[in-house]
Structure 1
Amino acid sequence: MKKSFKILGLATVLCLVYLVYTNYPKLDILCGFSAKSMASGHFIDNRSQEMIEKSDNDIPLITLAKYAINENKKYTIASVYGLNERKAIYRVGLGVTLINDDFDVSKPYQVPKRTKLVNNLPFPYGNNEPKDTVFANVDYSKLKNAVAFAFDKKGELNKRTRSVLVIYKDKIIAEKYDTGFNKNSKILGWSMTKSITATYFGILQKQGKLDVNKPAPIADWKNDDRKNITINDLLHMNSGLEWDEKDDAISDLTKMLYLSEDITRSQLIKPAQYKPNTHWNYSSGTSNLLAGILRNQFKTHQEYLDFWYSALIDKIGMNSMLVETDMAGNFVGSSYAWATTRDWAKFGLLYLHNGNWNGEQLFDESWAKYVATPTNTSNGEYGAHFWLNAGGKYPDVPRDLYSANGFQGQKVFIIPSLDLVIVRMGLKKGEGLDLNAFLKGIIGSFKK
C-alpha cells in the first residue's frame, strides 16, 4: 500500500512539473499583461486595484493573477500562485513599461517636452467647456435613447461601454459615461494608437521629409526580397511579411507586447511570405516597425520623443494623451495610447476636417482620403491604419465611415457625409454591442 502511495505521489509531482513546464510561457505572458494593465490603470488613471481587478483584468485566466503595488516607487508586480513574477514600472512622461530582470531602473531617461493648449476657446479648439448648442434637425430624445443603448443595464456585463461622445458640426450633442468614469478619465485606446502612429507619416510627408511610396528605409532588408516593401505597404498592412496576431495565445503579438525589449524589431525580423500588396494581414508588429522608422527620422532620441507631442498630440490639445514606451524607449505605436474620451474625439475631428485644425493644416487634405481608401485584398474593411465601411460592414451606416479601432471595442468613428464624429470606449471585443444598431440609432436621431 505504501509503495502504491509513493508511486501515486511521484506521478502527481511529475504531472505538476509537466504542467508548470508546458504552461510557463503562458504564465509569462499572463503575468506580463496583468502587471502592465494594473500599473497603467492605477498610475495613469488613478483607478483602484479593486476596480482594475473587477473591470480591466476580469478576463479568463487573468483573474488568477495576484498583485503587489508599490506606491512610492511606482511599480506593480503580478504573479500566479507565486510563479513568474512580472514587474511594470511607471515613469512620469513615459507611462508604464513592462520590464525584465536586466532593465536598469536607476538609469536616467529622457521624457517628451509637453505644451498645454492655453486659450479661452471652448472645446474642441480649446479646453474650456463646450458651448451649449441646440440643432433644430436633431431629435434629442431619440439621440439620448440611441446613446443609452450602448450601455449595460444595472447588474449586466454584456456591452461594457465606458463612454460615448457624439459630435456634430464641432459641437458635443451627446455625452455619457459609465459608473466610475467621467470626462477626465483616461482610457486606453489599444489599437486606436495605430491610427495615431500612421498620422505622423502624413505629417512628415506634408513637411517634405518623407515619401510613403518609397521602400521602407530598413538596412536589414536591402539584400533580400523585403527590399521592395514600401512604407505604403506597411501602412496598409499589405507588406507580405509573416505575422501571427492572435491576442489570446502565445503568438507574435503577445510575445512582442509582453516579452520584447525592443518592440520595433518583432516584425522587422520576420521573413516575407508573399509579394507586397497581394495579401492583407493585420499586424501590430507592423505598426511598431513604423514607430521604429519614425524614430530613425530624427538625429536624437529627444527629438523623436518631442515630435509625437508637438506635431500632433499637443498641437490639437489632446493634452491628456500619454503614449507609453518600451524598454528601448520606443513609443508602443500599436497599442498604448491613453486619453480622455474628449481628446480621442479631437483626433476624429482632425480627420473629419481633412487635417485642418483651427486654420492650420497638419497634413495634406489628400491624406484623409488616402487612409480611407481600401487596401487591396481587405474586402473594403481596411485602409491605411484605419478601418473602413466601404465594404458595408455596417449596412445601415454611410459607406464613407472610417474609424480608429481598439481591440476591446474602442472606436473613433468619422462620418464625413454627416459631419459626425462618434466615440465609443468599451471593454469588450466581439459583438457585446451591436455597433450597426448603435450607429443606426444615432444617425436616425437626425430629422430628414
Structure 2
Amino acid sequence: MKTFKRILLLLLLLLTIAVIYNYPKLNIISGYASKNLASTNFIADRLYSDIVESDNNVPLIKLAELESTDENGVTTSVFGLMERESICREGLGCVLINDDYDKTQTLPKPKRTYAAKNLPFPYGNKEQADTVFENIDYKKLNAAVKSAFVDYEIQKTRTILVVYKGQIVAEEYIEGFSKDTPILGWSMTKSVLATLYGILMHQGKIDMSYRPFKELDLTGLTSKDPREIIPLDDFLRMSSGLAWDEDYGSISDVTKMLFLEADMTKSQINTAYSSDDPKVWNYSSGTSNFLSGVLRKQFKTHQEYLDFPYVELIDKIGMHSMLIEADMAGNYVGSSYGWATTRDWAKFGLLHLNKGNWNGEQLFSPEWIDYITTPTEGSNGTYGAHWWLNSEGKYPDVPKDLYSANGFQGQRVYIIPSKDLVIVRTGLAEAPYFDDNTFLKEVTGAIE
C-alpha cells in the first residue's frame, strides 16, 4: 500500500509539474483556436463545426474547445482553462482581444470601392470566353491538377487555379470550397505588404535610403540608437540584424506577437540587436508587422493608412474579396492575416507577372520585380524581398525564374515568367506532405 501511495504521489507530482510547465502554452493554443474560428466563420462564412474538424484539427490546437459564440465573435478554452475571446469588426476582420480591450470603441474602417466591370477575368466579373491553346496538353494539365487532390488526408489540397497568358486553363476545388470562398493566405500577406512599398516608391513617397529607426518617432529610442543605420532595404529582405524567433511550436517571439500582443508593430522593436554582428538573413514575421507600423507612419491619419492598400492596390485590381485583418491597435497584420478567394490571389500574381501593369495602368515600377526577385545574401537563393525564389533550384524540375508568395500550410501564389504562368494552390499541408516540385513540374510540363 505504501508503494502504491508513493507511486500515486509521484504521478501527481509529475502531473502538477507538467501542468505548471505547459500552462502558459494554453494561452497560445486557446488563442489560435479562437482567432481561427472567428475569422474563418466571419470572413469565409464557414460552419464552426467544419472549422473545428478540419482547420483546427491539428496537434495541440485540437485540444481547444469552443465555449460560446455570438454575432460578433467566439470564446474558446482548453479543458475549461485559459478562455480567449475574439471579436469581429466590419472592415477590419477579427481580432484576439485581451482584458484591457475596450469592445465599445469604434475604429475607422477602410474605404472600399466595388466597381463591377463588364470585362472577363482578370479585369472584370464576366466569365472568360473558352480559349484553347494549341501548345497546352490539356490531358496532362488536368491530370497534374487532379493529382494534387489525391489522398486528401495527406496532401490536403483545397483549391488549385492555373492561369496561362491571363486565361484560366485549369481550376479545381474540394467540396465546400468554390471560386467565391476567401482563403487565409497566412504569410502570403507579407508579399502584399511588400507590394504596398513598391507602390509608395513608384509614387515617389519613399525610397530605399529611408531609415525607420532614425526618422520615426518611436517610443524609447534615442539619437544614439545603433538601429538608426538599418535601411528599409534590410527590413524588406529580412536581414536587419534584429533578433527574432519564428518558432510556431513553442512560446516564441512570433507566437507571443500573434496571440498576446495588442500592438503587433512593436514586437520587433523590442528584440535584441548588436551592430557588431554581421547582418544575416533571418525570416521574421515581426519584421513584416514592424513594416506595417512604418507604413502607418507615412500617412497623416489612421484613416489614410487603412484606405491605402485598398485604394491603391486591392480594389484597383478587383481583389474585392480581399480583407487584411488588423490588430487591437488598428494596425494591419501584414505578416499573416490577408484573406482572398483563389481567383483574387491569382490576380495578385498576374499583377506581378505583368510587372506592375494592370490593364494599362502602372501601379509600381517594372524594376520593382527585379528588386524583389534578387536573392538576399545568406538565404541560399531562396528569398528576395518578402518573396520566395527558385533561383538556386529549390524546386529542381521547375524554371529557376519562379518566385512565389508563400504561406503557412502550403498557401502559394507561384509566378513563372518564362512560362507566362500564375498558379495558386491552397490547402492545409505543405512539404513533405504536398510535393511542390512534382506538382509544378507536371503543370509546366503540360505547356510546350
Give the TM-score, by structure 2 length. Answer: 0.95
Distance 1:69 1:403 in 2: 38
Distance 2:375 2:276 in 1: 18
- Residue pairs, 1:25-40, within 5 angstroms: 25-40=24-39
Change over 3 Å in CA distance of 1:258–1:364 after alignment to 2: same
Q: Do the aligned residues in 1 keep the contact of 2:323 with 2:338 (CA within 8 Å)?
A: yes
- Residue pairs, 1:35-184, within 5 angstroms: 35-72=34-71, 74-153=72-151, 156-184=152-180
Change over 3 Å in CA distance of 1:211–1:55 after alignment to 2: same
- Which secondary structure state, in structure 2, belongs to the residue aligned with residue 408 of structure 1? helix
Change over 3 Å in CA distance of 1:277–1:140 after alignment to 2: farther
- Residue pairs, 1:290-305, within 5 angstroms: 290-305=291-306
- Shift of residue 13, structure 1, vs aligned partner: 5.2
Matched with 1:332 is 333
- In structure 1, what residue type is equivalent to 2:130? D
Matched with 1:322 is 323
- Which secondary structure state, in structure 1, belongs to the residue aligned with residue 437 of structure 2? helix
Deviates more, 1:34-43 or 1:273-282: 273-282
Q: Do the aligned residues in 2 keep the contact of 1:266 with 1:289 (CA within 8 Å)?
A: yes
Matched with 2:256 is 255
- In structure 1, what residue type is equivalent to 2:142? K
Distance 2:321 2:278 in 1: 37
- Shift of residue 58, structure 1, vs aligned partner: 0.9
Matched with 1:197 is 193
Q: Do the aligned residues in 2 keep the contact of 1:233 with 1:277 (CA within 8 Å)?
A: no
- In structure 1, what residue type is equivalent to 2:161? L
Distance 1:247 1:15 in 2: 25
- In structure 2, what residue type is equivalent to 1:58? N
Post-superposition Cα deviations, 1:355-401, rounded to whole Å, max 9, x if no partner, equal 00000000011001110110011111000000000011011111111
Distance 2:222 2:35 in 1: 32
Q: Do the aligned residues in 2 keep the contact of 1:239 with 1:275 (CA within 8 Å)?
A: no
Change over 3 Å in CA distance of 1:280–1:233 after alignment to 2: same
Matched with 1:406 is 407
Q: Do the aligned residues in 1 keep the contact of 2:267 with 2:286 (CA within 8 Å)?
A: yes
Q: Do the aligned residues in 2 keep the contact of 1:79 with 1:86 (CA within 8 Å)?
A: yes
Distance 1:175 1:233 in 2: 38
Q: Do the aligned residues in 1 keep the contact of 2:96 with 2:259 (CA within 8 Å)?
A: yes
Distance 1:278 1:252 in 2: 19
Matched with 1:268 is 269
- In structure 2, what residue type is equivalent to 1:400? D
- In structure 2, what residue type is equivalent to 1:54? E
Distance 1:355 1:130 in 2: 22
- Which secondary structure state, in structure 1, belongs to the residue aligned with residue 264 of structure 2? coil
Structure 1 vs Structure 2 CA RMSD: 1.7
Aligned length: 443
- Shift of residue 4, structure 1, vs aligned partner: 8.1
Distance 2:26 2:209 in 1: 41
Distance 2:263 2:171 in 1: 38
Give the TM-score, by structure 1 length. Answer: 0.95
Q: Does 1:377 align with 2:375?
A: no
Distance 1:105 1:12 in 2: 43
- Which secondary structure state, in structure 1, belongs to the residue aligned with residue 267 of structure 2? helix
- In structure 1, what residue type is equivalent to 2:112? R
- Shift of residue 5, structure 1, vs aligned partner: 8.0
Identity over aligned pairs, percent: 56
Distance 1:434 1:70 in 2: 37
Distance 2:188 2:173 in 1: 19
- Shift of residue 275, structure 1, vs aligned partner: 6.1
- Which secondary structure state, in structure 1, belongs to the residue aligned with residue 192 of structure 2? helix
Q: Do the aligned residues in 2 keep the contact of 1:411 with 1:425 (CA within 8 Å)?
A: yes
Distance 1:276 1:403 in 2: 30
Stretches of 4+ aligned residues off by more than 3 angstroms: 3-17, 273-278
Change over 3 Å in CA distance of 1:133–1:266 after alignment to 2: same
- In structure 1, what residue type is equivalent to 2:39? S
- In structure 2, what residue type is equivalent to 1:297? Q
- Shift of residue 118, structure 1, vs aligned partner: 1.7
- Which secondary structure state, in structure 2, belongs to the residue aligned with residue 344 of structure 1? helix
Distance 1:241 1:255 in 2: 17
- Shift of residue 18, structure 1, vs aligned partner: 2.8
- Shift of residue 222, structure 1, vs aligned partner: 4.2
Q: Do the aligned residues in 2 keep the contact of 1:278 with 1:376 (CA within 8 Å)?
A: no
Matched with 2:211 is 215
- In structure 1, what residue type is equivalent to 2:426? M
- Shift of residue 69, structure 1, vs aligned partner: 4.0
Post-superposition Cα deviations, 1:178-226, rounded to whole Å, max 9, x if no partner, equal 1211101111000000000011111111111101233223442742221
- In structure 2, what residue type is equivalent to 1:75? G
Instruction: Show structure 2 runs of 5+ residues with no match.
Output: none
Distance 2:224 2:51 in 1: 48
Q: Do the aligned residues in 2 keep the contact of 1:389 with 1:399 (CA within 8 Å)?
A: yes
- Shift of residue 227, structure 1, vs aligned partner: 1.1
Matched with 2:184 is 188
Q: Do the aligned residues in 2 keep the contact of 1:189 with 1:337 (CA within 8 Å)?
A: yes
- Shift of residue 8, structure 1, vs aligned partner: 6.8
Distance 2:446 2:246 in 1: 38
Distance 1:183 1:337 in 2: 17
Distance 2:401 2:319 in 1: 25
Q: Do the aligned residues in 2 keep the contact of 1:165 with 1:424 (CA within 8 Å)?
A: yes
Change over 3 Å in CA distance of 1:277–1:235 after alignment to 2: farther
